[in-house]
Amino acid sequence: MSLDVLIVDDSAAIRKILQRVLIQADVPLGRVYEAGDGEEALNCLKDASVGLILSDINMPKMDGLQLLGALKNQESTKSIPVIMVTTEGGSTKVMEAVNLGAAGYVRKPFTAEQIKEKLAGIV
């Protein structure tokens, strides 16, 4: 069964890399949706249903933590696992993401193996 994924990052480069890494990690990818910030992600989810969200934290307009909070407050999206993929390595941000309900946390730079390990218990 294929998995539809939403990748949220203001960098098109990182969105492209993450899509490649998901393939390298043998994730049975279905449709891949992309968003450049939290607002775009929420708009995308009005029309699309996904089984996994990978999100950056530092983004313009609506950042990843605000997006996470909004997703967990909506009945239709609160059960979607969200993995934060970010340069933010500070314990404060990590704890904030965990408290908001993030399913995992991957720090940039990352390897395909690290993404695969993180997805193992989730997907």
Partner 1 sequence: MTAKDEPEMITHDEITEMIRNATQSVFSMMLGIDLESCDSFVEEDPPGPSEGVLALIGLAGTWAGSGTFSCSAEMARKISSALLMAEYESINDEVLDAIGEVTNMVLGNVKTSLEEKLGPMGLSIPTVVYGRNFTTRSMAKASWSVVPFKLGGETIKVHLCLAPSRETPKIKSAGEHGRAFLTLMQ
Q: Which residues bind partner 1 (CB under 8 A)?
A: 10-14, 16-17, 20, 58-60, 86-90, 92, 108-111
Give the nearer residue to partner 1 in terms of CB position, either 19 or 80: 19
Across the chain, the runs of DSSP E, i.e. the strands, are 3-8, 29-35, 52-55, 82-86, 104-107
For residue 91, the minimal CB distance to partner 1 (Å) is 9
Under a CB-based contact definition with an 8 Å cutoff, are residues 93 and 63 in contact?
no
Give the nearer residue to partner 1 in terms of CB position, either 29 or 110: 110
Give the nearer residue to partner 1 in terms of CB position, either 19 or 81: 19
Nearest-angstrom CA–CA distance, 102 and 82: 5
